[in-house]
Amino acid sequence: MSDIFDELQWRGLVAQTTDESALRQALADGPVTVYCGFDPTAPSLHFGNLVQLVVLRHLQRAGHRVICLVGGSTGLIGDPRPTSERVLKTKEQTAHNVGRIRDLVRPFLDFEGDNPALLVDNLDWTAPMSAIDFLRDIGTHFRVNQMIRKDAVATRLASEQGISYTEFSYQLLQGLDYLELFRVHGCTLQTGGSDQWGNITAGVDLIHRAEGASVHALSTPLLEDSSGTKFGKSEGNAVWLSADMTSPYAFYQYFLNIEDSSVVRLLKVFTDRSRDDIDALGRLSEEKPFLRDAQKALATDITTLVHGTTLAAAVQTASDALFGKGDVSVLDPATLLDATGELPGAQVVVGTSVVDALVAVGLVDSRNAARRAITEGGASVNNVRVTDPEQLLALTDFLHGRVALLRRGRKNLAAARLG
């Protein structure tokens, strides 16, 4: 068994661990059972969760037993955020999200074969437990003095808004999960984002008190760009893993647009590429940045991992066609339709104003904004800049009589389809 810990560390996936040498030893000694939880706070997982899935994937490939937990109960409570109280999700919403997340996780891990990953829902052991049992059996092991020192809780206690008892209790629930998985499955490692460290160690402490056993924890670093902004936001929206929330095209584009100074780091985190391969891409990026080969490799690999080979190839073709040097009006019909098929868009008729078309396809929020974009020189039809805010779409604007390519700024594209 190769040293998986070194591998994770080299890839930049390790922020903190409980006892590094003990964890290294455990991983080297044989299969360890590891779990990571995902709360169903939304109908999809997002970029941040992808890091956790990648960690589990590496561990499973290294021969360790992987448990993927969906937080059917913790999702009902809500992990305290440092900023403000969450709006509680209904039980129906949460149950629906649990179902969606179960499906999303499947492509990342192997659920068949000799070392199948396990999928569990913490509602299964939390729901049957009475409040009295919870307080007596679990609560007794927690000191409030320690609980209020956890980062997220401390921040909220110091804030104007305070923190509800509901969210305050969150760490007990997550601790209970680890304890349960330790007892039932012999789970001795929990992974999660560094923002989860407090909750993760709550479980480590609980197992120590309740069972007298020492277990491990590993957190991954928060991924930020050069200006200190978290990765995973595109135009203010989260980058989701579900195709119906972030289109594969937008997903691919997000990674293609990663700044040069971060691309190597993200290649290490998200792709399976070797050290040599990534070094080579890094050098290429420094010497010939205009080729954008590192970004292309990153975008292709992640899109393939999340959306599969077929969709990844389709969005890549689309991107090449739409951003290539060639004139879009000479694209053959098949390429044009494939490429624009991945774009957001809407149906319009001949004679629709460019302003209305920009609004219809969602490139701008209002007709005022559309006029503004045109006035600023930031709008084009088939890559020809529009200068007249009153311009209408003519039949000849619809390439092959089918679709007009609308663009706002350099990289926001949409298709106006003749309907």
Partner RNA sequence: GGCGGGUUGCCCGAGCGGCCAAUGGGAGCGGACUGUAAAUCCGCCGCGCAAGCUACGUAGGUUCGAAUCCUUCACCCGCCA
**Does residue 412 interact with RNA by CB under 7 A?**
yes
Q: How far is the CB of 419 from RNA (least distance, A)?
A: 21
User: 373 and 385 in contact (C-beta within 8 Å)?
Assistant: no
DSSP-derived letter for residue 89 is P
Site membership for RNA, residue 338 (CB under 7 A): no
Residue found by looking up tokens 């070194």 in the block? 6
How far is 385 from 317, CA to CA, in rounded Å? 24
Q: Based on the shown chain and the rule CB under 7 A, indicate whether residue 372 belongs to the binding site for RNA.
A: yes
Residue 363 CB, nearest approach to RNA (Å): 8
Number of H helices and E strands in the chain, helices first, is 20, 13
Tell whether residue 387 is a contact of RNA (CB under 7 A). no
Question: Which of 107, 116, 289, 333 lies at the binding interface for RNA (CB under 7 A)?
Answer: 289
Of 43, 63, 344, 378, which lies in the binding site for RNA, with binding defined by CB under 7 A? 378
Polymer length of the chain: 419
Cβ proximity to RNA, 240 vs 254, nearer residue? 254
Q: Contact with RNA (CB under 7 A): which of 21, 113, 410, 419?
A: 410
87 versus 132: smaller Cβ distance to RNA: 87
Following CA atoms 165, 168, 174, 175 in sequence, which dihedral angle do they give, to the nearest 10 degrees? Answer: -100
Residue 48 Cβ vs RNA, minimum distance, rounded to whole Å: 17
Q: Do the Cβ atoms of 264 and 298 come closer than 8 Å?
A: no
**In this chain, which of 160, 244, 276, 287 binds RNA, going by CB under 7 A?**
160
Asked if 373 touches RNA (CB under 7 A), the answer is yes
Strand partners, 406: 381, 414
**Residue 231 corresponds to which tokens in the numbers above?**
């990765």
Task: Compute how many residues bind RNA; rule: CB under 7 A.
Answer: 40
DSSP 310-330: HHHHHHHHHHHHHHSSS-GGG
The torsion region of residue 82 among left (phi > 0), alpha (psi -120 to 50) and beta comes to: alpha
Name which of 213 and 238 has its Cβ closer to RNA.
Answer: 238
Which is nearer to RNA, 116 or 409 (by Cβ)? Answer: 409
Alpha carbons 372 and 361: distance in angstroms, whole number: 16
Is 340 an interacting residue with respect to RNA (CB under 7 A)? Answer: no
332 scored as a contact of RNA (CB under 7 A)? no
- Closest approach of RNA to the CB of residue 132, in Å: 27
Say whether 363 sits in a helix, a strand or coil. Answer: coil
3-state DSSP assignment of residue 122: coil
* Interaction residues for RNA, span 213-232 (CB under 7 A): 226-227, 229
Give the single-character DSSP code of 392: B
- Contact residues for RNA, defined by CB under 7 A: 160-162, 226-227, 229, 235-236, 253, 256-261, 289-290, 292, 295, 319-320, 322-323, 359, 365-369, 371-373, 376-378, 408-412
